[in-house]
Amino acid sequence: MAPKKTVPGKTTDAAGGPGGPTEPGERPVLGLDRYDVAILRELQQEARLSNTELAARIGLSAAPTWRRVKWLEQQGYITGYRAELDRRKIGLGVLAFVRVDAERNNAEATSALEEAIRRLPEVVACHYISGAGTFELQVLATDLDAFSRWSMQTLFRVPNVKDLHTSSSLGGVKSGAALPLSHLEPAR
């Protein structure tokens, strides 16, 4: 049995379990070492990799790779796996960006608006924004008529919505991109 190695907050085996041994002079960033970062990078590109394929790509054997993936999931670095769909192929031809101005900016009104937005399946992303407006929504609809109906019959009826400012996507340049990870890699 491999000897245990303790890292603050983690116990690993000598084979390189989560947060395990790193190269001399290599400092883990945010509790992640180069293998953890490599796992995150590879899974963002292809989440359907088998554990054996993933292990080969990052340069570890299968067992420590599996332990690291499980640890990354348990710690919340990996929050899920999903299929990326082509919205146009499933009949969602309109992507609209909607800035929502709230009627009142107090905690209770904002919470009610947040909760209502979370329940709208047409809203695929929502962000608090700085500057004019309170929220920026990304909304999908089948066509402009459907989007207009949805805006008038649904979004304008959400509590505390004062005004909407909408822009439509004319074409995608980049979406569904992997998160940048270079800031997690040790300086060379």
Phi, psi of 6, rounded to the nearest 5 degrees:
-105, 130
Residue 73: CB atoms within 10 Å:
13
The fraction of the chain above a pLDDT of 90, given in percent, is 60
pLDDT at 187: 67
pLDDT < 50 regions, the chain:
1-11, 13-15, 18, 20-27
Give the domain extent around 52.
4-81
What mean pLDDT, rounded, does the chain reach? 85
Report angle CA 100, 116, 78 to the nearest 5 degrees: 95
Could you tell me where the beta strands, DSSP code E, fall in 24-149? Answer: 94-102, 123-128, 135-141
* CB proximity list for 31: less than 8 A, separation 6 or greater: 9, 10, 19, 75
pTM: predicted TM-score of the whole model, two decimal places = 0.75
Give Cα 2 to chain centroid, integer Å. 36
pLDDT at 68: 97
Q: How far apart are the C-alpha atoms of 166 and 98, rounded to whole Å?
A: 4
pLDDT at 28: 57
CATH assignment at residue 115: 3.30.70.920
Beta bridge partners of 142: none
Based on the structure, what is the number of domains in the chain? Answer: 2
Q: State which of 81, 113, 147 marks the end of a domain.
A: 81
pLDDT at 11: 44
Q: Are strands 4-7 and 135-141 parallel, antiparallel or unpaired?
A: unpaired
